[in-house]
């Protein structure tokens, strides 16, 4: 007889860690994803088109498209922080 019950495993709170990334790399990727999400949310709140967002952020429209799609691997944390600041955000780190 086949057991069709689902098995639920509680996540760690970091999807990248759950996917098997090195803990240090997973934390950086989590930070990058959070900055991306908040930056995209901010320029959508401003009502910017992708072209307008590109102008405000100082990047190309295709880069804005990759940002919206969440292509974390395409953006360094440094660049994402600069984009967030250009979007009018004030990111801070706390240890």
CATH code of the domain covering residue 37 = 1.10.260.40
Which of 35, 92, 85, 28 lies closest to 58, judged by CA? 85
pLDDT for the residue 1: 58
Q: What is the pLDDT of residues 18-33, one digit of tens each?
A: 989 999 999 999 999 9
pLDDT for the residue 25: 92
Question: Residue 21: inside a domain, yes or no?
Answer: yes
- Establish how many alpha carbons lie within 13 A of residue 18's alpha carbon, considering only the half-sphere containing its beta carbon: 8
pLDDT for the residue 3: 65
Question: Residue 50: inside a domain, yes or no?
Answer: yes
Other Cβ atoms less than 10 A from the Cβ of 84: the count is: 20
Question: For the chain, which ranges sit under pLDDT 50?
Answer: none
Question: Residue 51: inside a domain, yes or no?
Answer: yes
Question: Residue 93: inside a domain, yes or no?
Answer: no
Show the domain range for 46: 15-86
pLDDT for the residue 13: 86
What is the spatial distance between Cα 47 and Cα 91, in angstroms, rounded to a whole number? Answer: 21
- Number of separate domains in the chain: 1
How would DSSP label each residue in 23-73? HHHHHHHHHHHHHHHHHHHHHHHTT--HHHHHHHHTS-HHHHHHHHHT-GG
Question: Residue 30: inside a domain, yes or no?
Answer: yes
Question: Residue 92: inside a domain, yes or no?
Answer: no
- pTM for the model stands at 0.81
């Amino acid at each position: 007889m086949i057991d069709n019950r689902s098995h639920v495993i509680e996540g760690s709170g970091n999807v990248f860690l759950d996917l098997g990334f090195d803990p240090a790399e997973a934390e950086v990727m989590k930070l990058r994803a959070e900055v991306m999400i908040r930056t995209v949310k901010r320029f959508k709140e401003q009502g910017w088109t992708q072209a307008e967002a590109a102008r405000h952020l100082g990047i190309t429209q295709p880069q804005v498209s990759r940002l919206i799609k969440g292509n974390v691997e395409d953006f360094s944390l440094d660049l994402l922080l600069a984009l967030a600041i250009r979007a009018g955000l004030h990111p801070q780190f706390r240890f």
